[in-house]
Structure 1
Amino acid sequence: MAASNPQKEEEELDDMKLFDEIMIAPHKIKYINPRYKKVNAKMYDYKCDIKLSVGGSNFKAHREVLMQASDYFSAMFSHDMLEKEQDVIELLEMSPNGFTLLLDYFYHGHVTLNPDSIEDVLEAARFFQVDWVVEVCCDYLVHQLSIDNYQTVLQLADKYQLGDLRGDIFRFLGLNVMRLSEEKDFFLNFDRELLTKFLKEDVFVEADEEFVLELITNWVSAKPEERQEYLLPLVRLVRFPLMDADSLSGIHGDLLKWPEVADAVEEAKHYANDIAGQSLFRGPQFMSRGARPTVAMLIFTPDYCTVTYYDIDSGARCQEELAFSGEESQFEFSSIARVGNFLYRSGGYDERVCSSALVYRYNPRYRNWIQLASMAQPRVSHAMCASEDQIFVFGGIEHTVGDIGDEDKILSSAEVYNVRDNVWQDLPELPAGSYNQAASYSDGNVYISGGISADPFDSVPMCTLWRYDIQNRSWHNQRDMLYSRQRHSMTTVGNKLYVFGGYTAANAGPTEVFKDCFSNEVFDIETNQWTEIRPIPETFGHVMRTVGVWNGRFFLFGGGSLHSYYIDEDRMEYGDYVGLSVQKIAVLDVAFPT
């Protein structure tokens, strides 16, 4: 990864910081603008040149201070408005309390908020167009009042055109609900509508699902006479499959009296016990709260294992270190495929630098890999793809280390993994042994393109496209690609196969066999035709063969950066720098705080 400068990053964060805050008392906060230029002169000194009558109260001030602090006063005193020449300006329908607190900001760069003053300050800040004060009022409403006065917050947001603050409230609650639940009278004051919408909203929660169930039962127990009728509707919102087997067995019998709850718990127990088949369970109840489409960029070295998550919608990024087993140093030469919301990895090199038959599955919820049934054939640099419930591997290389040296065998064998049964079975062999191919599944068929062949009569690399008919267990030759390539990617979208990047034959002398292939193409399965699409700009640099796709948008990695290709627009877009050592990339639904 690129080297970072912690001191510089901290300074940049400070520059971007909107406010500092001081807790004066519970629900009483002083917000300070760190970039505000304070006024040295005291308020009400002899240099005051304007009087304001606000709701029957009188205030002295300086025109220059008011003009610098507020666009409203700047316009008033700079243009031919009636008030420009007046010594006294009347603002009859405004709260004096709100104006007093706003003057503190005009002169000193801070404002103090509490439940009694928040609406008055909002009214004044909106009237005088003071955006910073409006922003800190929103922060106060979300962080201080949302739990106890959810309806009041929404009413104020609507009245003063603050936008919909519910998303901010849900995110704040998700990150802080465990801490907040420890405060006195939390369960007594927690608004029912807020609790219900919070559980319905798919938002990241910094707590396990066991706590969510406990949150519901404690809330009902705080006022059982009033809240008992809401217990079942709230329990319906619990995602029982996110609980472990022991917790599921310990669920109180009072909740299991409802057949639908008992059925949901039984389903969750089946999910918890069916380790190998978990990727086949589909539905929101099996997804982590707040999981959203994310590009996962995996990095494995002899010293560390990390994954960088890139939120597709927001662009937010999070990097985490994974558990290290010592077997990941040759991760680049293994292959990956996605089933459900799990990532499967097969082959690669073992600790002896021999081809491995091991298979692992990555769970983005727990951020861990577990070992599954091994392939019959150890292999590296092989093709791998998946259907809804099966994983296919083709070809590759069996690399062995013996007494007389290393030996490479180009493989023609193929296997299929049944996810439900955790079992591998042999498939008919490839038409010719090959490696560094790309594979993709579509409607009962698997397509294999390019790679390097063991057949001396094939081009190096190949431009072939083969189709494997799963039902009939037969291979069929399709129209060749427009470009020969190896270590590329091929991905199915609809009834088309999109091929990106990789390497093609070099035109130079014998020392340079391959070069980057910047040409891309798409195969129409129905017409058996290839069409060239937007090439990869050469400024992208080396483009890895791995690619993720989501909602008509491909994610390509090259030159240390993540780039995008938009299918409908046939358009490439430069992306952000993420580091040169990314080895695999996939699109998963991942939950992490932003």
Structure 2
Amino acid sequence: MSSPSRRRTAKKAILGRRCFCRGSGSGDQAGVHRFPPAWRELWLSGELADATLASSDGAKFRVHRVILSAVSPYFRLVFTNTIDGKQSLDREKSVDLPGRLLEILLEHAYTGACRVAADNVQELLPAADRYSFGEVVQRCCHFLLRELTPANCLGVLRFARHYFCRNLEQTGDRFVKVNFKRIAEESSEWCEMQVEELERLLSDDELNVADEAVVFRAVTRWVDADPESRAPLLPRLLLCVRYGFFDLDSFTEIVLRCKYVEQSPDLQRLVEEPTVFLTQMATSNATELDLKPHFCRPRIPYEVLFAVGGWSSGSPTNFIETYDPRSQRWFLSQHTDSLPRSYHGMCALENLIYVVGGFDGHEHFNSVRCFNPATSEWQERACMYNARCYVSVCALDGLVYALGGYNGRMRLSSCERYYPQYNQWQMIPPMHRQRSDASAAVLGGKIYIAGGFNGTEVLSSAEMFDPVSMQWTLIAALSQPRSGISVIAYEDRLYAMGGFDGVTRLNSVECLTPSLQFPAWHEITPMITPRSNFACAVLEDAIFVVGGFNGTTTVPHVESFDSRGGQWRPRAPMNLNRSALTACVLSGLPNCREFSYLSKVSQLGQGCSCDQPSA
């Protein structure tokens, strides 16, 4: 017989073998420690079993108290406090669970694994929580995190709050705010929300909604599900809507003509002040929205536009400006690079900004810098094989592509691509044409480049690169030559905008649908301002064009194009006049608030002009 000390050591070893599902795990088996196969054999055979668990539907399971106590504090307490060592080892314990759930928990206790699936997770999580199987709770939470959809996220969030699953609650809360529009319009769970939940969500500054009409319609959809009991709650919910971001026509059509507002004098009084405000804005010549009224509080943007570098006041600059689309304001950033540059390329990849090549007035760069907005840190990355200014840059399948450009001696047809995980550049096949001052975009897994300058003439040619075949193919030419052009992909089309045709700066725009059988460029509505060497980006379902040179001077002008309306509209100008700059959009930054109006106004102090730069 073993000594008491050896028995204590053995017991301690068994109790120490616990299976923790780490928060960093992503797969079903992440963080799971497989227990010795002998444990499962003992469970299946019943050998050495010293207790019996009886399920609510009559199933009975022979178990080993020491093993069950090692994975469940609940059973450890039950077995140590209610079963005296002198009592019969066949003592039976009732468990208020059906046999199929109890069997899953026991499988986890003996093997370290358990089956979590859509058909059992909503029963398994509370069962595991009730009987203190913490690792099973974690596995259920990981499963629900992976399975979040607009259709189920509200129920999952409510579930997480009830069972105090903090990670699941935080992730679910963010998912709901980010996907608010789809959830409010499509989810059947929307109409099941409690008024307190709804009020908390709609009041949140981080709600991802570009159009406040979506918020108003979400409220009325919820009320429509039970008008008799919910209509009296409308005043508290409609106070959550930021009416200042309506235009007068949509406010009149959507809010003032809403049946609930038309039938309620109280609601009419509630929207009276916004009505006066929007009427005054519509009849004034104000270029910026007054953000002082409480119903004009901007929300935190989910997407932020970054404009980097460029040529300003006769020299290159290292300034960064960010645009908050919720407040429609530009802010100068304090996180400038140490190296001024213009005529560079730039792209966003995994919420990092890569600045490629460029020119500082004296030197043509082959250097690459990477900016992380989440940490405000700049890092040097591997240099390109060739110096390139007037370079076209884009990102595809996790790689950064640098196409053509000018090395200080000649225009280039050569191309290379960057592998971030290896910090290495690789040369790829050259284009058919030498081209600098061109522009490239990605659509349908292929790279398109158009226009540019070859050293002697402005180009109208365009070509396409297939990264699978590693071949360039000439495609339909632009309707006119363009250097200093901007090309961007939006929905299923390519847009080629502005530029210089060798004589004048252009405001014309043409588009191409590559998926057509015989694609050809055709002109659409021109921009308001002629410009070349400007930046462009897609922000909240609109094409933004930023800065540039109009033939006489660099400009700060910004405008946007909505393909549904087919019109360009002016936007708030940048703080600086500049051309030869680049722009990109980052989404879902963990510190989006830092780039928002609310943050800037807080930094400046209450009462300061909200359109002043923060640096």
TM-score range relative to shorter protein: 0.3 to 0.5
Q: Which has the larger strand fraction? A: 1
TM-score of the two chains, using structure 1 as the length reference: 0.46
TM-score of the two chains, using structure 2 as the length reference: 0.44
